[in-house]
Amino acid sequence: MSALHAIRDINHRLFAGYAELLRIPQTPRFAIGAVIASIPFPMIGMTITISVQNHYGSYGLAGALTAVQAIALAVLGPQFGKLIDKFGQKQVSIPIIIVWTLAAIAMVTAINLQAPPWLLYCIVPFLAFVPPWGAMSRARWTYLLKGKPAKINQALSLSSVFDECMWVVGNPLASILAVISGILAFSFTGICVLIGAAMFLSVTSYTPPSQTELAKASGLTRAQYRAKEAQRSAQLQSDTSSAKRAARSASLWGTGMIAICATWFSVGAFQSATGISIIAFAKEQNMAQYTGFVFACFSFSSLMGALIYGAKNWMIPLWKRFYFCLAVVNIGIGSFVFAKHLWVIMIIYLLIGVCQAPTWINGNQIMLHLVPPSRFTEGVAWMGAMNAIGSSFGSAIAGQFIDRYGSHGGFVAVTTLALISLLVAFVGFKQIKTSTETPVLNEVQV
């Protein structure tokens, strides 16, 4: 009986808070819909890599194409976030989805017909037309739970749990479906986009009001409203900080924002290099069919980390949690260069994955300290954009090393990028630490 009671107590501690969030009417629909609609993120990169390598026989071309798509994501993501904050989630998302659908059809047709590489380069940027579903979902949670920091922490953790479920499912599916047929992989992705978008956009109750709506209600223009909000954010910080710090933090691009974006760039670089290196390593060992399951192990471990992390109301300072989790992931992945078998990589992934989702959760929480509420989607989109730019950089470098030196060369690049990533994060230590000691700007009432 005592063992059963202990299990029930653990279950209550882990899931009670999440269950309470999901009992709020319609929250499961938009939260799960956002994850389903985000399936291009785990599917497209791997599908392009496997399909292009199969049809063109070049990791360099595959890496370059994924790099171009990542750069396009980096350029377009913040712009989409800015447009959504200005005009509304539904108004901006629908046209973006239409463009992505047409691009996916064109891309899979070109690959299967072995079209000239220049045509692939022309099409692939349009696969970056993906609404920032994760940022929009987090914006809804933040708006719904305004003034409840502990609940917001749980909601962000729950969002990360759902995201990791997407990666757990998406990675093995991408590797299996892409090996069978690129058409099948792209078709499955497109169906998920349409279903998830319908679920998410059909819920309007918790959509944060756009800047246009807020400005209209206040009798102001958007520019006047944004200026007023920034001024009130600065005033909030000046209550507990120096005037100089408050003035810097009132702008979207303060030193803390620059530091976190630089960190996310470096994280994206070494993690994307890891992905393409593992694919090459698995092919060399004639185990390509298991590649997706290796990535799924990392995502499953990350999912468990998110569950446990969000269940606790942490007293340890945010910046300490951020650096600890980041160091575990970077050093762990850097050790792949010594692995002699794919299953060794899988075991390391299982061990360090518990810190992956908490790293992103901490990053999202830091963003709450950096940007005003009506620019939260834009702020999170910039963080994702810098991660995408870093991903393009890492994919391109790893692809060249793999073509010349095999998978071991790719892992040497991974280790180097992982150590540089950790160094970049600590260069921004002062700015990140300082930003988390200021009031949360999303609590500003305008």
pLDDT given for residue 8 in this prediction? 62
Residue-wise pLDDT for 402-438, tens only, equals 888 888 888 888 888 888 888 888 887 887 787 777 6
Residue with tokens 């099948």: 184
**In the chain, what are the domain boundaries?**
15-208+252-443
Nearest-angstrom CA–CA distance, 163 and 299 = 9
- Tell me, what's the pLDDT at 425? 82
Instruction: Specify the CATH number of the domain 15-208+252-443.
Output: 1.20.1250.20
Computed on alpha carbons and rounded to an integer, the radius of gyration of the chain in Å comes to 21
- Tell how far CA 203 is from the center of its chain: 22
Torsion of CA 418, 421, 427, 431, to 10 degrees: -130
Q: Which residues of the chain are modeled with pLDDT < 50? A: 240-250, 442-446
What pLDDT, on a 0 to 100 scale, did the predictor assign at position 445? 40
Check: CB of residue 272 under 8 Å from CB of residue 395: yes
* Alpha-carbon span 64 to 45, nearest angstrom: 11
Confidence at residue 119, expressed as pLDDT on a 0 to 100 scale: 92
Crossing angle of helices 182-201/40-56, nearest 10°?
Answer: 170
Task: Show the tokens assigned to 46.
Answer: 């791997």
pLDDT of residue 247: 40
pLDDT, tens digit, 9 for 90 and up, residues 34-72: 888 888 877 777 778 778 877 887 777 887 887 788 778
pTM over 0.85: no
